[in-house]
Structures are given as structure tokens and as C-alpha cells.
Amino acid sequence: MFLPIGDAGRAELVERRIAEAIMGGHLRAGDRLPSEADLAHTMGVAPVTVREALLGLRSRGLVVTRRGRNGGSFVSAEADPLVFAREALVASSRFAIRDLGVHYAALTMAGTRLAARRAALSEVAAIRIRLAKLDTAVGQKPGASELSAWRQTMDDLQLELVALSQSARLTRDQMRLQAEFSPLLRLIDVDAGTRSRHRELFGSVLDAVEAGDEDAAGAATERLVGDAIDALDALRLQADDF
């Protein structure tokens, strides 16, 4: 998450990278951020750029700064993934959301197609067991922590499935793109019907991978991502009501 951002290393890009890490669940409430000097070094920017980014994060309530011997910048306890996701959705055009879906679907389909060719049945079975346990972990009226855990588990299962492609590059790209996509999915996770539908669609992907059917695995993945994008597009149309 703190990889160099190159010549485009402006404060807003550093701010966005850290915000996405917080709202994607990679940094949790109370976690301490690296020092300004360390962040500047690892992200390839000047310390003043990091300082400006942290100021922006503090103004959004995502980060708090504590002084003293054990001070530093910490993820705020009030950092709300849903608020962040809504802001990101409103800031995106419908075309941008659709384009993100095309990118995510293409990458994930490539991973699941390869998984159908290369995965062992026992590896697919392990993912299926975790998916089955997810059914009982979240009730019909889950709280924020339960929804967060549900999304984290679904993200993990998707990454595990793509990892069965045995392609390190595909898996790394999946991790990066999923970190961008996952916060938006939290907005549609609040609906029990959507969660149930996506769990079923993901199960269809597993069925195809288990059967070694590459075409079916790709088609099932496309249906899963397409359903999510349709739901996000519908929310984007209602953005003025947020």
C-alpha cells in the first residue's frame, strides 16, 4: 500500500493511497502509520508532501495525530468505510464505474479461468468450506462490524481463488485492483438480498473451477462482477440523495 507513486507523487495521491488502505480494511482503527520520513522514503515523495496528505486525512476524520513520546499519526476510531465509499461513488462518473467493472472483470476472469485449469480439487474445497461458514456468520440485520467481516472474507476468498491460477503477477494485480473496488462493494453489501445473490454467484464460479471448465468459470465471474456494477450504477443514479 505504501509503494512508490512516481512522478505523480502529489499530496492528493498520497492521501488517496492511505485513505484507500484505511477504507479497504488494510489499516484498521488505532493502527499507527509509519513516520512522515518513512512514508516519504517508501512512497518516493518529499516529506512536505506527506505532511500535506496527512493534513487532508485529518480534516476528513480518517487520521488523528498524537503528540509526545508515543505520538504519531493513527487511524481514527471514527473512520467510516461507508462514508468514504459514498464519497468515492459520488465523485465517480457512471462511465468511470463501468470502466472499473470492465477492468476488474477482465482481470478476475483471467485468474478464475486459469484456476479452472490448474487448481487442485482440495484447494477449491477449502474455499468452499469458508464460503459455507460465511452463511451463518452474518444475520439478516448485521451490524457494521459484521458487514466489514463479511466483505473482508469475500475479498479473501476471491483473492485465494485467483491465487489458484498459480500466477504471481495476476494475484498481485488482483490485490491492487481489489483494494480500489472493495470499498465500493461495501455500499451494496448492506442489502441482504445482494449478499445472498453474490454468495450464490461466487458459488457458481467455484463450481466451474472445480469442474475444470474455463469458459464456465469466466462466464460466472462476469455475471458476478456485472451484477455488482449494475447495483453500484443504480446507487450512483441516486447519488443526489446521499
Q: Show me where the domains of the chain are located.
A: 6-78, 82-241
Shortest CA distance to 142 belongs to which of 198, 195, 78?
195
- Rounded Cα–Cα distance for residues 125 and 155 (Å): 17
* CATH assignment, 6-78: 1.10.10.10
pLDDT by residue for the chain (242 residues), tens digit each?
A: 554 444 444 788 888 888 878 877 678 888 999 999 999 998 888 999 999 999 999 988 889 998 888 889 999 877 777 777 888 898 889 999 999 999 999 999 999 999 999 999 999 999 999 999 886 656 556 777 788 889 889 999 999 999 999 999 999 999 889 888 998 999 999 888 999 999 999 999 999 999 999 999 999 999 999 999 999 999 998 876 54
**The CATH fold of domain 82-241:** Four Helix Bundle (Hemerythrin (Met), subunit A) (1.20.120)
φ and ψ of 52, to 5 deg: -65, -40
The answer to whether the CB of 30 falls within 8 A of the CB of 71 is no
Shortest CA distance to 154 belongs to which of 197, 210, 103, 114?
197
pLDDT of amino acid 23? 75
HSE-up (13 A, CA, CB side) for residue 220:
25
